Amino acid sequence: QVQLVESGGGLVQVGGSLRLSCAASGRTFSSYSMGWFRQAPGKEREFVAAISYSGGRTYYADSMKGRFTISRDNAKNTVYLEMNSLNPEDTAVYYCAADVTWSRVTMTSGRMLYWGKGTLVTVSP
């Protein structure tokens, strides 16, 4: 099992940037593919990005491509989400998740095995 704790959320102005972190503990971090998801007020949770075990492969939701970058540091047991050109529609609780498989179906359907509790990102106009 793995425990996930997100950090780095907060209030940012339109056009600004923010980097989220997700620290993992438990089993070997490199055994998990990692993903970021978000849930805006009144909306369903949606997939943002994912990264494979060693970081060699990444996958993004179409609306995030070019603005968001996912990365990981297996030595630090941490996955990151760099977010640029933020707009009010990016306001949401951002969650990281882990899974033992690398499956686009698993990612996009939100069926990852382990989840953090989320960190709130608010983009002000």
Report pLDDT for 114: 95
Report pLDDT for 104: 87
Query: Which amino acid is located at 122 in the chain?
Result: T
In three-state secondary structure terms, 6 is: strand
The pLDDT profile of the chain, 125 residues, written as one tens digit per residue, is 899 999 999 999 999 999 999 999 977 999 999 999 999 999 999 999 999 999 999 999 998 889 999 999 999 999 999 999 999 999 999 999 999 999 888 888 889 999 999 999 999 98
Report pLDDT for 85: 96
Report pLDDT for 69: 98
Nearest residue to 4 (alpha-carbon basis) of 93, 69, 95: 95
Report pLDDT for 95: 98
Separation CA 56–CA 66 (nearest Å): 18
Separation CA 88–CA 114 (nearest Å): 28
What does the H/E/C string look like for 16-51?
A: CCEEEEEEEEECCHHHCEEEEEEECCCCCCEEEEEE
For 83, half-sphere exposure in the C-beta direction (CA atoms, 13 angstrom radius) is: 32
Q: Report yes or no: 18 and 121 within 8 Å, Cβ to Cβ.
A: yes
